[in-house]
Amino acid sequence: MEQTVEQKQADQKPQTDETPLEALASIASVLVIGLFVLTFIFQNFVIPSGSMEKTLLIGDHVLVDRVTLAPPTNWARAFMPYRNVKDGDIIVFYKPGQPNMFLVKRVMGVPGDRIHLINGVVYRNGKKLNEPYAAMPQPGNYFPYRDDFPDVPPEPGDEVTAEWAVNMPNYIHGENLVVPPGHYFCMGDNRPESLDSRYWGFVPRRNIVGRPLFVYWSFEMPANEENKTTLGDHIAYFIHETLHFFTQTRWSRTFHVVK
């Protein structure tokens, strides 16, 4: 069947190119969506210290899920994967008393749990925990307050905050520290080297940002890099990362799932 004149003209009509304004609008839409995702759903976080070794290494860049552990909202409850914080969860949170500092630790006690340590080994609700991922104190590296918590009171030099030293006895019942409502007891997996809830107290629920999902990039960062805060330090480290990207990237940790 032959095409009509009108059909031929329609087929031959040139397509209109996207105008600069339309292109700008498309780019802006992508940026807005990306900003929303990075602000409210996921967040980048860099592990600055060795308190979670060997689970997380200094220089691991992790993607943090900000949704699952967020306080649920009624309108989104039906389709968002909300759940409560559980024992064993690894979480990112604001350090109590220092709202500008992010920390990452493992939840060792949820509200109502009874916690104590014997020679560095954690007992929760009277049961000894099997934690093959956790580093334990070695012979000659024993500190009474740290390793037999909370049975031994802190002494000068134990790095315990003054506020926690005053408040901690209120939560001790017998040999256990009892986690109060709305709070969590958190510890690093590298127990001998972790400054955690033993030293500054419980993590309020409102301080929890989310949970790390996986390592998307891992770079061999010096242990003291977190103490360098000047603009010159940041520029020097950026240059260092650029020059050594291929040789100091831990390629085997790419997409390593955090658990």
* The most confident of 93-97, 154-158, 221-225, 236-240, by mean pLDDT: 93-97
pLDDT digit string (tens) for 204-223? 999 999 999 999 999 999 87
> What DSSP character marks residue 259?
-
CA–CA distance, 81 with 220 (Å, rounded to integer):
34
Region of 37 on the Ramachandran plot (φ > 0 left; ψ -120 to 50 alpha; else beta)? alpha
What distance lies between CA 138 and its chain's CA centroid? 27
For 109, how many CA atoms within 13 A lie in the half-sphere containing its CB? 30
The reported pLDDT for the residue numbered 34 is: 46
Evaluate whether 104 touches 90 at the Cβ level (below 8 Å).
Answer: yes
Domains and CATH numbers, the chain: 41-237 (2.10.109.10)
pLDDT digit string (tens) for 51-83? 999 899 999 999 999 988 877 666 555 556 778
Amino acid at 123: Y
